[in-house]
Amino acid sequence: MTKIIHLAGISGSLRKASFNTMLLKAVAELLPESVSLEILSIADIPVYNGDQDIPDRASRPEAVNKFRKALEMADGIVIASPEYNYSIPGGLKNAIDWASRGTDSPLIGKHVSLMGATPGQWGTVRMQLAFLPVFNTLKMLHINKFEVFVSQAPKKFDAEGKLIDTDTSEVLKKHLDFFLATLGHQ
């Protein structure tokens, strides 16, 4: 029997025409019927403030609680993010920081798939490298087989935001198949 898998997707970009949100939508289209992807928003998550978190979890903002609960309920996380200044976008890192705090962190031990799309040549390589110490610190299980670095993104998505590059689709499919296998999907 096929195991039902629920994934949480996070785009590191808040742009309306974000290539990374488009990439998450391409992920959703490639998933088998027994796998769902809920794309979470980080737009309403405030800047991290320890006074609202540790030791009084009851003070966490509602947007943070909602985000953490969605991550807790997910079997795995798919992050698609741009690269800003050779690193992780601030808004995304902030959301991860909120989710990482406390012994009740929904990230500890969670399987994570990381990918990124950019108009540039490097396909978010440096952002993905910058995430490795974060994943290691949180004991997250990072899947790096068939890495997904989407460079020259405007050439790989059509005007409606659909992934049209077959090579990218093939790498994405291999990556997702491997990721789902690590989650017990047959």
Bridge-based pairing of strands 5-11 and 141-150 is unpaired
pLDDT at position 159 is 96
* Cα 74 to Cα 69: distance, rounded to the nearest angstrom: 9
- Contact present, 93 and 86 (Cβ < 8 Å): no
Q: Take residue 99 and report the two structure tokens written for it.
A: 């989710």
DSSP string for residues in 55-78? S-GGGS-HHHHHHHHHHHH-SEEE
- Contact present, 171 and 146 (Cβ < 8 Å): yes
pLDDT at position 21 is 98
| Domain of residue 152, residue span | 5-182
Distant-in-sequence, close-in-space partners of 129: CB < 8 Å, separation ≥ 6: none
Mean pLDDT, consecutive 10-residue stretches, the chain (186 aa), reads: 89 97 98 98 97 83 98 99 97 98 94 97 94 97 92 98 98 97 89
Domain count, the chain: 1
* Cα 23 to Cα 27: distance, rounded to the nearest angstrom: 6
- Contact present, 77 and 8 (Cβ < 8 Å): yes
* Cα 176 to Cα 86: distance, rounded to the nearest angstrom: 25
* Cα 116 to Cα 127: distance, rounded to the nearest angstrom: 8
* Domain harbouring 129, CATH code: 3.40.50.360
Let me know how many helices (H) and strands (E) the chain has, helices first: 5, 5
